[in-house]
Amino acid sequence: RPIDGVALSVRGVEKRFGGVAALAGVSLEVAPGTSHAIVGPNGSGKTTLLNMISGFYPVDAGAIAVGGRSVIGLAPHRIAHRGVGRTFQTPRMMPDLTVLDNILLGAFMAETQGALAATLRLPAARREQAQSLAEAMRYLDFVGLRERAMEPAGELPHGQQRLAEIARALVGRPRLLLLDEPAAGLSLDELDRLGELISAIRGLGTTVVIVEHHLELVANICSSVTVLERGAVLASGTPAEVFSNEAVISAYMGA
Ligand code: ADP
């Protein structure tokens, strides 16, 4: 049973891909309004776990609840409607559309319907979301991209595309925001901005779960961490506890 007052509860989640046990009974809990990091070597199951939470693949076993309600068996767009936003390891902006149009389209359309369907729906989406324009601009401002709103998204440097994706995920005002390696490929300036941005997002009351290799960023902005290794939880706790754990240090060094 999900515990009251927990933004995200993952219990005994298992997922196999053919012969590979990507997740072999993973559990974690995230308190509302906090930032939680999922770290671990490549192939340890981090992205698979995000995919389970956002409904991209069905779980083989286990329970997942957002805000105390099970999301097991729901399609990705239903989970998005429950207030779960996400970004991807590889930015999924539509390169020929402006940054603003990408934001207006919203995260879940690109995720669930593909680029073509989303593009065909653009005029309708524009009308429906006309009132969202101010909000979209506000979030672009929030991530420092107001000036680039009218440029084709594909012309933005990689780091700015990542920040734009976060703005897109914020437009739905998610209760829970899942970020998959947001720091990858960012400049030092952008990294600072990302740290501030995630703190500000938490300030809006959004719970943040972040898959991240940049451990300094994790230590700076996250109050709790789960370390995965080969689909299982190797350690969990505060960044200080986890990063001084012998098993964690050897998992990273010995890989
Ligand atoms: P991480 O994000 O920690 O690098 P992943 O969750 O991407 O790890 O992958 C965990 C394991 O599951 C890997 O062995 C990977 O090859 C496998 N895997 C992930 N997604 C798929 C998929 N869609 N099909 C087959 N195997 C997958």
Predicted model pTM? 0.88
Neighbours of 58 (CB within 10 A): 11
Torsion of CA 151, 155, 158, 161, to 10 degrees: 30
Exposure letters 89-117 (e unless 16+ CB within 10 A, then b): eebbbbeebbbbbbbbbbbbbbbbeebee
- The strand pair at 20-30 and 8-17 is best described as antiparallel
Q: What is the pLDDT along the chain (255 residues), one digit of tens a residue?
A: 344 578 999 999 999 999 999 999 999 999 999 999 999 999 999 999 999 999 999 999 999 999 999 999 999 988 988 999 998 887 788 899 999 989 887 644 544 455 555 566 666 665 555 556 888 888 899 899 999 999 999 999 988 999 999 998 888 788 999 999 999 888 888 899 899 999 999 888 899 999 999 999 999 999 999 999 999 999 999 999 999 989 888 887 665
Q: Is 200 in the pocket of ligand 1 (CB under 6 A)?
A: no
Neighbours of 4 (CB within 10 A): 7
pLDDT tens-digit readout, 225-237: 999 999 999 999 9
Q: Is 17 in the pocket of ligand 1 (CB under 6 A)?
A: yes
Expressed in angstroms and rounded, the spacing between residue 20 Cα and the centre of ligand 1 is 8
Q: Is 16 in the pocket of ligand 1 (CB under 6 A)?
A: no
Whether ipTM tops 0.85, in short, is yes
Q: Is 44 in the pocket of ligand 1 (CB under 6 A)?
A: yes
Expressed in angstroms and rounded, the spacing between residue 45 Cα and the centre of ligand 1 is 6
Q: Which residue among 38, 47, 48 has the greatest number of ligand 1 atoms within 8 angstroms of its CB, and so is best to mutate?
A: 48
Which atom of ligand 1 lies closest to the CA of 48?
A: 6
Tell me, what DSSP letter sits at residue 98?
B
Neighbours of 255 (CB within 10 A): 11
